[in-house]
Structure 1
Amino acid sequence: MEQISNGVRVPSAQRRPDVVVVGAGAAGAVLAARLSEDPDREVLLLDAGPIPRGEAGFGPELLDARLVPGARPDHPAMTSYPVHLTPERLWQVPRGRVLGGSTTVNGGAFVRARRADFDRWAAAGNPAWAYGQVLGFLRDSETDLDFGESDLHGSSGPIRIRRSRPTHPAAEAFRDAARHLGFPAEPDKNDQASPGFGPVPSNSVDGVRRNVGLSYLPPEVLDRPNLRALGGCRALRVVIEHGRATGVVVARDGARSMLDAGTVVLSAGAFATPHLLLLSGLGPAADLMRYGIPVLRDLPAVGARLGDHPQLVLDWATRGDLGEPAESWLGGCLHLASGGEGPDDIEILQSLVPMAGLVGGVVRVPDAPLSFLVSVQPSEPGGRLRLASADPDALPRIDYGFLSTGEDFRRLREAVRVTAALLDSPPLAAMSKGLTDPGPDVLGDDRTLDRWIREHLSTSQHTCGTVPMGPADDLRRAAVDQFGRVHGVRGLRVADTSILPDTPHRGPAATAVLIGEIVADAIRRDLGPS
């Protein structure tokens, strides 16, 4: 580490790292693990939060797969960003601030993007992202405990995958209700079969949430002599000299320091990574000049194409106590195509723990309703992230752009009504009193239901697209190439879900790991100019 003294670097005795990875989340942990497999490469991993060692370091509360730490306000393992879901609807979006990032505090779903997502990204000028190109990386990242080694699945990767089992009475009834309404079975949501009802692939195994940090960076990997991991170290900006990234300015232990680097990889997440780029003079020129930040590279796409999945929480009252789940809060999951055609863009995900329990950090809440988490999964991003200040301590302004078209409302109305129909079907009606809200009068009127949707809207917290990948000749839509290299800046890459051109038709945790694998492979193989 080099200290900054009166603006002059003071070199330390430590060797300059070949790669500095900023962010130890789903992609950053993968990068640190894969890049340090080469003993002659010095890797430095930074994270603003702590970097625990093994299961004991994380502790039982973060590892309990029946809970979702990110649902708890002010949990110490996360930070929250204020956002506007619509101009009128304010929300707080939690992000993990600990080794493993949001995979340490999220629900543990580990579902691959769809073939159509990969092929759409490939067609947008990213041929390395075609489904046939990425399948090998998907297999190498996992140990599938249900299906084992096959053309689709791996059996020796760091992430252990288990699908939720319908042993809870509510999960069994959801399965039977979906079958009663004619939805097909989808036993493996990580292959590319037709959508339907099935269990949720998860990186939670035997009741333990095995986050990506724990999976890729166990103590024996953290102890590699060519890997250093610094927790409590927050990046403030990237240093760029003569068109090349040469280091990172960080805050640690109350002091600011300069870290030299051969290559910098930003894996801080789809909020923090674009924010760092903007603070470093990389982004829309007019926005940078507005806050007095020197424009080092005009990149209009930074922050301009934010995407996420709008979500509604639909509570239903049970007839009696159904008991608590044995291993995971996740029940079954139904995917379907809105209007009966096109991509499967509606997701109905079952929670076996009351929402009050997830928010309160307890599994059982007597007499509390259970919930379905209902979301629609668009591919075209409609949000934006912008600077609010040149001060790195000031959070960016984040607008999601939800409910901007009639089509947004139509698909959410359909998702709510399908959920109500499931609860009214005989298998679930036997244990359910139906939705607690909205009631029949609201469900039956489009305009009234739209008003209810607007007032109850939330997000799936699947943010993507804030530093999208694509060709260098289309800077309004692309800020990095398919291997995460920032257009026009040497020695700087991005590797997290911010590089996805739009949101996949599934949650992005498995795709975030894939990003880490692809970018690490590109660095190791030295694909293209550095």
Structure 2
Amino acid sequence: MSRTDVIVVGAGAAGAVLAARLSEDSDRSVLLEAGPIPSEPSRFPADLLDARFVPGAQPGHPAVRGRYLGGSTTVNGGYFIRARREDFDRWAAAGNPAWAYERILPFPRALETDLDYGPHDVHGADGPVLVRRGEVKHPAAAAFAAAAQELGFPREPDKNAQSTPGFGPVPSNAVDGLRLNTGVSYLRAALNRPNLTVVGNSRVLRVVISSGRGTGVLVDHGGRHTILDAGEVVPCAGSFVTPHLLHLLHLLHLSGIGPRTDLERLGLPVLKDAPAVGARFSDYPQVLLEWAPRKDLGEPTDSWLGGCLHLSSCDGAYEGDLEVLQSLTPMAAPVGGTVTVPGAPLAFLVSAQTPRRTGMLRLRSADPARPPRIDYGYLRAPEDRRRLREGVRTAVALTDTRTFGEVSRALLGPDPGTLANDRDLDAWIAGHLGTAHHTCGTAPMGPADDPATIVDRYGRVHGIAGLRVADT
């Protein structure tokens, strides 16, 4: 293939968007590396776009990622809640002024068509992503709403309006039962552009660096290794694969951007000593609380998502950092390929969403086919344990209300004795712990003179021309 202006690695939440946006300029050639590339929703496996399922929630796969057009937006829950104003302003204060809330706001407005609010100060009406809030009509969702009101939590009808955290419906990019991933919402209209080439069923093995500049990628396509040349390379392969690509680069010999000790341990020359790559990432610990319905409440019509409650943990450091999210389908449902399982319990998902950087990603091997070691670092800090205890106790209090008792026969744990003892509750939480799959910060942004960063506010890798990172 001839040299491309920009190669985008990965066709997921970031890559599909970036390739579609860049290719709007007809004078710019764009190549997108992707997995399978169905061009229409009807060509996706039915369960991948059915918004009543969460394919990424299957057991035995602790860090599920999507290898399809649309990436992990093909297997996620369709949850479409923005970061809060304080998050954006915190990023701006850390040396990234372009990320201040007022400067960023035009972009989320431009990307969405909000079917509930339409054109609005904080919402858009003509973007490619359709957003809708599910009606809180399912009996379990209605009971959750009544329980939240009974306990005095405020209503929060629009969770993207930066209002006081409380109970409300979940904004979602699932509409009429269809999960509208970024392949559908962004790329479907762009695939026929003559300046956009999508290389499907391929996998980028390494980024090619020449004379201190990103100049292409080494690709495995059908078992054949090929170098594709580019003026600029943008890894958008996700929070785990992107730093893996940075660690393992293709020079005249293998080299890497990452912690010197890790690279040298594997016999890799150090192109750039960057201790921040994969060193301190963040994700949200999540705990599952199941309850037994008094009777069959019926299956959801459009989405697995019920209501959602946000509240602030007792230290008040971050507004709305605790989340109680409701599932209207049993956790066993995705595995069985059905949205109902007779007699199965329903669940609340409790997350502590306080910014935290206790995760670590480290190389195991110089072989790009061998995944890195991922350690979330959950529950090591006393603050993490305390916040999850607060969230769990709030969820239990909701199930104990008179109104929720009208649909719930029993909470399936923890028992009252465990709830009353911090140490026992910590042990119960550790035994029911999962991840929210919201990993970020494996290639953190900030000024070039800050050793805790790897890219600047525009995603440009410090010290390497022609190489950017454009995902979480």
The two structures have a TM-score, normalised by structure 2, of 0.97
Alignment equivalent of 1:240, drawn from 209, 225, 229: 209
Distance across 1 between alignment mates of 2:59 and 2:33: 25
**TM-superposed deviation, 1:341:** 3.0
- In structure 2, the residue matched to 1:199 is 169
Map of 1:332-411 to 2, 5 A cutoff? 332-339=307-314, 341-342=316-317, 343-411=319-387
Deviations 1:303-332 (A, max 9, x none): 112110000010001101111111110000
- In structure 2, the residue matched to 1:95 is 65
Distance across 2 between alignment mates of 1:432 and 1:263: 56
Distance across 2 between alignment mates of 1:472 and 1:484: 11
Map of 1:244-259 to 2, 5 A cutoff? 244-259=213-228
Q: What are the ranges of 5 or more consecutive residues in structure 2 without an aligned counterpart?
A: 250-255
Which structure is higher in RCO with an 8 Å CA cutoff and minimum separation 6?
1
Is the Cα contact below 8 Å between 1:288 and 1:295 reproduced in 2?
A: yes
Distance across 1 between alignment mates of 2:141 and 2:296: 14
Is the Cα contact below 8 Å between 2:322 and 2:354 reproduced in 1?
A: no
1:19 matched to 2:3? The reply is no
- In structure 1, the residue matched to 2:90 is 120
Aligned residue type for 2:154: P
- In structure 1, the residue matched to 2:305 is 330
Distance across 2 between alignment mates of 1:60 and 1:316: 29
Cα distance change of structure 1 residues 287 and 34 upon mapping to structure 2, 3 Å threshold = same
**TM-superposed deviation, 1:241:** 1.0
- Report the 3-state secondary structure (helix = DSSP H, G, I; strand = E; otherwise coil) of the residue aligned with 1:173: helix
Distance across 2 between alignment mates of 1:386 and 1:464: 15
Is the Cα contact below 8 Å between 1:353 and 1:364 reproduced in 2?
A: yes
- In structure 2, the residue matched to 1:443 is 419
Q: Give percent identity, aligned residues only.
A: 62
Aligned residue type for 1:473: D
- In structure 2, the residue matched to 1:45 is 32
Is the Cα contact below 8 Å between 1:143 and 1:160 reproduced in 2?
A: yes
Alignment equivalent of 1:189, drawn from 149, 159, 172: 159
Distance across 1 between alignment mates of 2:21 and 2:373: 34
Is the Cα contact below 8 Å between 1:69 and 1:361 reproduced in 2?
A: no
- In structure 1, the residue matched to 2:285 is 310
- In structure 2, the residue matched to 1:68 is 54
- In structure 1, the residue matched to 2:252 is none
Distance across 1 between alignment mates of 2:95 and 2:337: 44
**TM-superposed deviation, 1:73:** 5.2
Deviations 1:48-69 (A, max 9, x none): x211111122143212111111
Distance across 1 between alignment mates of 2:51 and 2:122: 26
Distance across 1 between alignment mates of 2:3 and 2:246: 22
Distance across 2 between alignment mates of 1:427 and 1:359: 31
1:491 matched to 2:461? The reply is no
Map of 1:221-240 to 2, 5 A cutoff? 221-240=190-209
- In structure 2, the residue matched to 1:139 is 109
Is the Cα contact below 8 Å between 1:72 and 1:360 reproduced in 2?
A: no
Map of 1:444-459 to 2, 5 A cutoff? 444-459=420-435
Aligned residue type for 2:114: D
Distance across 2 between alignment mates of 1:352 and 1:235: 38
Alignment equivalent of 1:109, drawn from 55, 79, 85: 79
**TM-superposed deviation, 1:378:** 2.0
**TM-superposed deviation, 1:166:** 0.7
Deviations 1:256-297 (A, max 9, x none): 110101100000000000000001111111211111112111
Aligned residue type for 1:136: P
Is the Cα contact below 8 Å between 1:118 and 1:130 reproduced in 2?
A: yes
- Report the 3-state secondary structure (helix = DSSP H, G, I; strand = E; otherwise coil) of the residue aligned with 1:150: coil
**TM-superposed deviation, 1:72:** 3.0
**TM-superposed deviation, 1:340:** 7.0
Alignment equivalent of 2:237, drawn from 261, 268, 282: 268
Is the Cα contact below 8 Å between 2:283 and 2:356 reproduced in 1?
A: no
Higher deviation after alignment, 232-241 or 364-373: 232-241
- In structure 1, the residue matched to 2:266 is 291
Alignment equivalent of 2:439, drawn from 459, 463, 466: 463
- Report the 3-state secondary structure (helix = DSSP H, G, I; strand = E; otherwise coil) of the residue aligned with 1:338: coil
- In structure 2, the residue matched to 1:130 is 100
Deviations 1:141-172 (A, max 9, x none): 00000000011110000000000111100000
Aligned residue type for 1:17: T
The two structures have a TM-score, normalised by structure 1, of 0.86
- In structure 2, the residue matched to 1:29 is 16
- Report the 3-state secondary structure (helix = DSSP H, G, I; strand = E; otherwise coil) of the residue aligned with 1:149: coil
- In structure 2, the residue matched to 1:6 is none
Cα distance change of structure 1 residues 203 and 25 upon mapping to structure 2, 3 Å threshold = same
Distance across 2 between alignment mates of 1:64 and 1:24: 20
- In structure 1, the residue matched to 2:405 is 429
Distance across 1 between alignment mates of 2:78 and 2:63: 17
Is the Cα contact below 8 Å between 1:263 and 1:491 reproduced in 2?
A: yes
Q: What are the ranges of 5 or more consecutive residues in structure 1 without an aligned counterpart?
A: 2-14, 75-79, 81-91, 498-530
**TM-superposed deviation, 1:94:** 0.4
Distance across 1 between alignment mates of 2:470 and 2:337: 31
- In structure 2, the residue matched to 1:216 is 186
Is the Cα contact below 8 Å between 1:68 and 1:361 reproduced in 2?
A: no
Distance across 2 between alignment mates of 1:215 and 1:203: 9
Distance across 1 between alignment mates of 2:184 and 2:45: 12
- Report the 3-state secondary structure (helix = DSSP H, G, I; strand = E; otherwise coil) of the residue aligned with 2:165: coil
